[in-house]
Chain A
């Protein structure tokens, strides 16, 4: 409706001029007059505000520069987010758990623009998990007379395979840190399939060169292909994005096929926990959250195929009572035997740190793989028939590994197609990290350009693996390889 008959008379003689946020510009305080309207948002002083309900929105006065505008909205969750959720989410909800992941839609100018997924990890700096939504608005969507509206909405219904990992009424308690506006000019990198994997990389994490300005990876934890130990060279046009859980969200951007590659990395032999040269766990790598993917220890995915098997069931599988389990166990046991043999035949590396060796020995009596000369080579070999690729294929055939997708606006039900391909074992080129890594690549293709944000679940029934002696899920890391930009 263009011309409402309402004779709106909200203007009085006492209105103060309201400044507009220019483009480019960033707003980081909720008490600024540019933030003209809030709905179920508590205004902040050093941040924009915090959501008290869902749906909720704020309206910003902006002064567009005449062309398209790139909007970035930075969100975060912290302890207060959980407290706010506890206090404000409907009391009738069952299984109240504010620590679950927060997945919500971001709408602007009357359309859904993105989805954001946040899930806390202990390694997050200051206990704050950060995320971001980015989207481009065409010039005609913004004018100085109107408002830039940013609205968040919880998603209902959620797919059964993700429901138990995600909090309902997800925006409640989420903090809005800042809103940024930038012109989309000829220098702007097109936004392609904005990814949200649960949070931005922790402070100090290695990032690829230019990651801070990489639109495609900005909402994700980005690992550098160069810095990651044992990582084979990644195409310079790709970013490796570490997954926090077995979920990630992709939002529409420039027209491009919805296609990603999931890289699974086996970072060390079974039973040999990775310890870096500082003796601390590497928080930047895509080891899945135990809460989301560990199986028995954490919330379980709802899908029966992905429910963790019990310890007894796992043991049964290992003893050969289940076809799928027997095959997987055999592969893994073979790998372990080979690792032991290789370790026994190798000479301990003088460059290996005491912690590397001590930890590995104490854990599983398997010395860390030798790094004979520091030249980046190793004498270890892996039978391709026993590869990680074969393992994943085996899991998929037995429905222990599955990728599913869910259109978050409810108008699209994508069916992902998968191709699992392998690259042989790779070698570390870091003397202090002398172990073999192995990679498998899973090409996920949703068929066409994203019409709406999509939730993707990459479920592995780790229970099927836990029957293998020495299995440690931390040996597997999961990353998305996505086009840079």
Chain B
């Protein structure tokens, strides 16, 4: 960074000071630039994402001499463009002249080299997924490869160490109840994202009122369909339907003819940012005569009420399918996600398989047959733990997402660079470990050393 650069986003004097500090810090903590090039995306409007991407790039530069080339929206109105022009003109389709956003964000490199992406949301300090040419098996997009490799890692390091991790996973499951807006980070935190009831009896007390509010038949189960941000990251992973919009429309049509259960259709919490076409409302308008279908904005329901209702969750790749099974509520996926290979959701292979899974689940709900096993619940809790802990690298050089993008963040980053010696910083250690072992993501600890070491690295709560 140029020490004389003015804050391009007018983020304030603290940001400018941070940039000056970073310009002093990084050259002394990396190798001189070499032949290699690291291409870094700075397309997002959120400075926290940019800081994450640049930190990883610089962490790599500690062991690979490389220059950094960033690509960003050159237009000063890029922020506005990002959230307006990129709204789709038709749900599930990308508007004319607009390249798919997923491609923008994850361009294929012409030279074969490793690729990585960082996640953009809370609750993590820093999370990154990587793909090394040497580890590729089969065809597919970045996310498809990533899904396969995560599944493999899950079996090898998480499920195999479940006895060591059980207590931590249990604690994460407890903590997550109080801010279930995470990992559904779109939803935001606070009291509307907490699940406070604990028992079937308490759930039933709330459920009775929730059913009456929506005009549902109290005697029937409830299936929730979670609409997506239908223009975000299109077709970057396996989707069994042509697009997210068609999945939603066809599921609604299926539900209209299936009155054995109540159907709750909720939009994406950030629907307005991703769909200005009124897609959700149009689908709802087709089914106004079906009393067993209710379409609602997601944020009209607190998590307490929504979770009192949902007996089965259905999504393509939504993070709700990672949340619900943690607490014993089954989920069906009509596509792949990071966790879809971890064995705690029912993942459809194709459209036919999706309808088969759905019909079977409905029959199970009506018959009173449980659709989820104890093992699936434990797997879901292990994934939740990994998502919030094992795969979350906390570093002074990044700061936690919840710090926000404000003076406090820039001040904390400046303190980290000026006052804390960088040796052993988790950002550097985890990046070198990931790179040297060609692992699919950053990890907080070294899982390969066996259970005893894992306990030690975690600082586990246990009596020696």
Interface residues of A (CB under 8 A from B): 1, 3-15, 18, 36-43, 53, 55, 57, 59, 107, 109-110, 143, 145-149, 151, 153
Contacts and interface: CB of A to CB of B under 8 A. Distances in A.
A4 B221 contact: yes
A9 to B, nearest CB: 3
Contacts of A37: 196-197, 202, 206, 304
17 contacts: A5-B369, A5-B370, A6-B329, A7-B370, A10-B203, A11-B198, A36-B197, A37-B197, A37-B202, A37-B304, A38-B304, A39-B206, A57-B209, A59-B196, A143-B201, A146-B202, A147-B205
Contacts of A8: 199-200, 203, 327-329
A43 B304 CA distance: 15
Contacts of B206: 37, 39, 57, 59, 147, 149
Interface string B295-313: 0000010101100000100
A14 B171 contact: yes
Contact of B177 (A10, A36, A40): A10
Nearest to B176: A12
B27 to A, nearest CB: 46
A10 B197 contact: yes
Interface of B: 167, 170-171, 173-174, 177, 191-192, 195-206, 208-209, 212-213, 218-221, 300, 302, 304-305, 311, 326-330, 364-365, 367-372, 374, 377
Given A147-B202, A147-B206, A149-B209, A59 B174 contact: no
A5 B196 contact: no
Nearest to A38: B191
B261 to A, nearest CB: 11
A1 B200 contact: no
- Kindly name the residue among A15, A18, A59 whose own CB sees the greatest number of chain B CB atoms within 10 A: A59
B328 A42 contact: no
Nearest to B169: A12
Contacts of B311: 4-6
A146 B201 CA distance: 5
Find the residue from B170, B368, B371 having the highest chain A CB count within 10 A. B368
Contact of B368 (A5, A14, A39, A147): A5
B205 A10 contact: no
Nearest to B203: A8
B199 A5 contact: no
Contacts of A40: 192, 302
Given A4-B311, A7-B372, A11-B198, A110 B174 contact: no
Contact of A149 (B205, B302, B326): B205
By secondary structure, the A interface counts as: loop
Nearest to B219: A1
A43 B192 CA distance: 12
A149 B208 CA distance: 10
Given A13-B174, A39-B305, A110-B209, 4 more contacts: A12-B171, A12-B173, A37-B196, A149-B206
Contacts of B328: 6-10
Nearest to B312: A6
B116 to A, nearest CB: 33
Nearest to A145: B201
A5 B221 CA distance: 9
A1 B212 contact: no
A247 to B, nearest CB: 26
Contacts of B192: 40
Contacts of B205: 59, 109, 146-149
A111 B191 CA distance: 25
Nearest to A7: B328
Contacts of A146: 201-202, 204-205
Given A38-B304, A147-B205, A5 B364 contact: yes
A10 B212 contact: no
Contacts of A107: 209, 212
Nearest to A15: B198
B327 A42 contact: no
Contacts of B201: 143, 145-147
A18 B195 CA distance: 15
B191 A145 contact: no
Given A5-B221, A39-B206, A14 B174 contact: yes
Q: For the complex of A and B, list the 6 residue pairs with the smallest distance between their C-beta atoms, beginning with the closest.
A: A9-B328, A14-B174, A147-B205, A12-B174, A145-B201, A110-B208
Contacts of B329: 6, 8
Nearest to B380: A9
Contacts of A153: 213
Contacts of A109: 205, 208
Most chain B CB within 10 A, of A7, A10, A41, is at: A10
Contacts of B171: 12-14
Nearest to B366: A5
B377 A9 contact: yes
A43 B197 contact: no
A145 B367 CA distance: 25
A42 B173 contact: no
Nearest to A148: B205
B213 A55 contact: yes
Given A14-B171, A146-B205, A147-B205, A7 B196 contact: no
Given A38-B304, A110-B209, A5 B197 contact: no
A312 B198 CA distance: 66
A143 B329 CA distance: 25
Contacts of B202: 36-37, 59, 145-147
B297 to A, nearest CB: 12
A43 B191 contact: yes
Contacts of A110: 208-209, 212
B182 to A, nearest CB: 17
Contacts of A53: 300
Contacts of A151: 209
B47 to A, nearest CB: 28
A263 B221 CA distance: 52
Given A9-B377, A12-B173, A145-B201, A3 B368 contact: yes
Contacts of A5: 221, 311, 364-365, 367-371
A15 B197 CA distance: 11
A149 B204 CA distance: 11
A413 B206 CA distance: 29
Nearest to A18: B198
A408 B112 CA distance: 70
A113 to B, nearest CB: 12
A38 B197 CA distance: 10
Contact of A36 (B167, B196, B218, B364): B196
A42 B191 CA distance: 8
A8 B173 CA distance: 13
B451 to A, nearest CB: 20
A6 B204 CA distance: 11
Contact of B377 (A7, A41, A145): A7
A40 B305 CA distance: 10
B196 A1 contact: no
A56 to B, nearest CB: 9
A13 B170 contact: yes
A145 B369 CA distance: 24
A215 to B, nearest CB: 25
A63 B192 CA distance: 27
Contacts of B371: 5
Contact of A10 (B167, B198, B305, B369): B198
Nearest to B204: A146
Contacts of A55: 209, 213
Contacts of B330: 6
A97 B174 CA distance: 43
A24 to B, nearest CB: 21
A4 B369 CA distance: 9
B376 to A, nearest CB: 9
Contact of B220 (A1, A41, A42, A148): A1
B350 to A, nearest CB: 26
A40 B302 CA distance: 7
B202 to A, nearest CB: 5
A145 B371 CA distance: 25
B170 A147 contact: no
